[in-house]
Amino acid sequence: MAIWFLRSRLAHHLGQRIGSLDALKLSSWASSLHPWIPPSLDSSDDRYASKFLRNPMDLYAARRFRSAKAQESVPVVTDGSNQVMDFPGGKVMFVPELRFLAESPGERISCYRILDDDGKTISGSSFQEVSKEIALKMYSDMVTLQIMDTIFYEAQRQGRISFYLTTIGEEAINIASAAALTIDDIVFPQYREPGVLLWRGFTLQEFANQCFGNKLDYGKGRQMPIHYGSNRLNYFTVSSPIATQVPHAVGAAYSLKMDKKHACAVTYFGDGGTSEGDFHAALNFAAVMEVPVIFFCRNNGWAISTPTAEQFRSDGAVIRGQAYGIRSIRVDGNDALAVYSAVHAAREMAIRESRPILVEALTYRVGHHSTSDDSTKYRPVDEIEHWRTARDPVSRYRKWIERNGWWCDDAESELRSNVRKELLHAVQVAERMDKPPLAELFTDVYDQVPSNLREQERLLTELIKQHPGDYPPEVPV
């Protein structure tokens, strides 16, 4: 790169000095002066040579053009040296045809899958082995996630929590991707990945505390439900704006690289998120800075009510990796084994080669966007039903573990009953718990409370004493 820079500056300088000469003179002069322009076709790069020779007309056309020009100018250049230009990033071949790159490669990028719809491994598939223990924890966590969604969703419908957002349909993405990571990998989530946190050991009580915004919520009741975060579990706190976390993951990955940690950063986002500037900024930064980060796109077809057809014209997210110089894979997001294998391999490459990897998982948002949304207003119920039943990632995976002899109906009902009990208990406890004290309204804006906030706290406290009925009694003053 540095060498190219010097040379290009020289060429630029020469270009300026002899700017009045025609282009042919300059190029022939340049080729005699600058050995970095390949002197002939016997390039050491075979790919280049074969590509170049594939179309002999290229050479012929170039020759004709040159000879015509040469009549009014000086030497005739007939070798191939001017068919290639050294340019930042590598050699670029000249072609005489007016040809645009196609808007798409024609066929859509294929999708990596291991389990068929019936939960059978597809013959010849290559995948990362999963131990029985891990496989069962994966299943158990997927089921837990489903039940948690059901109970919290109901709690919202009963007016006990203000908001909720389910992960239904994306259980495999949540749990299998988490299973393929280690706890040292730093997670920058969007909001539909609570399963990653569940896998890492966030308890159902901790989830409930956050949704109820009680005094044990780590976020101190400041954010809406589902904005989980855990320092202990290397899971950065969720923020509502879309894709803002994606460049954070790149900065964190740079830190991991500088510290020579055997870990990567992982960030999740949806298909809608890939339209945000932060997505593009992050992919470009990550590629240029060569940092160990996994970009995990949950392409679930819908950004609230906007279908992907109205989101982008590219073949999803996966195709964009290449444009940024990022290795990418498309995976069946409803196939837990495929997601596990893809993320496992992505992590290995990201860390070993210090490079970003883009994973696009194809899936479907079976639930509404959130409790504030009714998705039947903008998409057919049949479509939702099809994905909820025929393509359910959890039952597909269950068939696989059952086929392995690792799971049975008794285990299933015991699991569901235990999780349900535990969740109902967690909800009751969380609901009865005090809210965080008023003082926490003013802390953590800065590392220390500044004088203006102290004054506002004092004024507010006096006001509450005068009008105690105007304020929620469950917040201790």
Q: Which is nearer to other proteins, 218 or 406 (CB)?
A: 218
Q: Which C-beta is closer to other proteins: that of 292 or that of 301?
A: 292
Report the nearest approach of other proteins to the CB of residue 454 (Å): 10
Stretch that binds other proteins, among 189-197, 252-260, 329-337, 400-408 (CB under 8 A): 252-260
The DSSP bridge pattern shows strands 357-362 and 327-332 to be parallel
Do 261 and 184 contact (CB within 8 A), yes or no? yes
Q: In terms of CB distance, is 92 or 445 closer to other proteins?
A: 445
CB of 83 to other proteins, least distance (A): 31
Per CB under 8 A, the segment of 138-146, 195-203, 251-259, 426-434 that binds other proteins is 251-259
Is 450 a binder of other proteins (CB under 8 A)? yes
Q: How far is CA 371 from the centre of its chain?
A: 24
| Among 129, 154, 385, 414, the one annotated catalytic | 154
* Binds other proteins (CB under 8 A): choice among 102, 231, 309, 381: 231
Interaction between residue 434 and other proteins (CB under 8 A): no
240 as an active site residue: the answer is: yes
Shortest distance (Å) from residue 316 CB to other proteins: 22
Rounded CA-CA distance 128/343 in Å is 10
Nearest to 256 by CA among 280, 287, 291: 291
8 Å CB contact between 167 and 143: no
Using rule CB under 8 A, residue 188 touches other proteins: yes
For residue 335, state whether it binds other proteins (rule: CB under 8 A): no
Asked if 280 is an active-site residue, the reply is no
Q: Which is nearer to other proteins, 188 or 207 (CB)?
A: 188
Tell me if 247 contacts other proteins by CB under 8 A: yes
Nearer to other proteins, 107 or 447 (CB): 447
Residue 462 makes contact with other proteins by CB under 8 A? no
| 370 carries an active-site annotation | yes
Q: Are 341 and 349 in contact (CB under 8 A)?
A: no
Instruction: Confirm or reject binding of residue 66 to other proteins (CB under 8 A).
Output: no
Q: Using H for helix, E for strand and C for coil, what is the string for the chain?
A: CHHHHHHHHHHHHHHHHCCCCCHHHHHHHHHHHCCCCCCCCCCCCHHHHHHHHHCHHHHHHHHHHHHHHHCCCCCCCCCHHHHEEEECCEEEECCCCCCCCCCCCCCCCCCECCECCCCCECCCCCCCCCCHHHHHHHHHHHHHHHHHHHHHHHHHHCCCCCCCCCCCCCHHHHHHHHHCCCCCCEEECCCCCHHHHHHHCCCHHHHHHHHHCCCCCCCCCCCCCCCCCECCCCECCCCCCCCCHHHHHHHHHHHHHHCCCCCCEEEEEECHHHHCHHHHHHHHHHHHHCCCEEEEEEECCEECCEEHHHCCCCCCCHHHHHHHCCEEEEEECCCHHHHHHHHHHHHHHHHHCCCCEEEEEECCCCCCCCCCCCHHHCCCHHHHHHHHHCCCHHHHHHHHHHHCCCCCHHHHHHHHHHHHHHHHHHHHHHHHCCCCCHHHHCCCCCCCCCHHHHHHHHHHHHHHHHCHHHCCCCCCC
Report, in Å, the least distance between residue 293 CB and other proteins.
9
Among the options 227, 344, 368, 369, which is catalytic?
A: 369
Of these residues, 67, 240, 255, 413, which one is catalytic? 240
Report the distance separating Cα 459 and Cα 456, nearest Å: 5
Asked if 320 touches other proteins (CB under 8 A), the answer is no
Exactly one of 151, 165, 226, 282 binds other proteins (CB under 8 A); that residue is 282
Stretch of 113-121, 285-293, 352-360, 426-434 contacting other proteins, by CB under 8 A: 285-293
Rounded Cα gap, residues 174 and 145, in angstroms: 9
Of the ranges 92-100, 172-180, 224-232, 469-477, which one interacts with other proteins (CB under 8 A)?
224-232
Q: Name which of 125 and 223 has its Cβ closer to other proteins.
A: 223
Of the pair 127, 324, the CB lying nearest other proteins is at: 324
CA gap 404, 139 in Å, rounded: 13
- Annotate each residue in 287-306 with x if it binds other proteins (CB under 8 A) or - if it does not, as one string: -xx-----------------
> What is the smallest separation between the CB atom of 250 and other proteins, expressed in angstroms?
5
Decide: is 428 part of the binding site for other proteins (CB under 8 A): no
**Residue range at the interface with other proteins (CB under 8 A); choices 76-84, 137-145, 194-202, 239-247:** 239-247
Give 16 or 451: the residue with its C-beta nearer to other proteins. Answer: 451
Identify the residue among 24, 180, 204, 256 touching other proteins (CB under 8 A): 256
Query: What phi and psi values does residue 235 have, to the nearest 5 degrees?
Result: -125, 105
Nearest to other proteins of 136, 449 (CB atom): 449
Q: Minimum distance between the CB of residue 173 and other proteins, rounded to whole angstroms? A: 22
Binding residue for other proteins, selected from 108, 452, 474, 476, defined by CB under 8 A? 452
Residues marked as catalytic: 154, 240, 369-370
- Which residues would be at the binding site for other proteins (CB under 8 A)? 186, 188, 217-220, 222-223, 227, 229-231, 236-237, 239, 241, 244, 246-256, 258, 265, 277-278, 281-282, 284-285, 288-289, 440, 443-447, 450-453
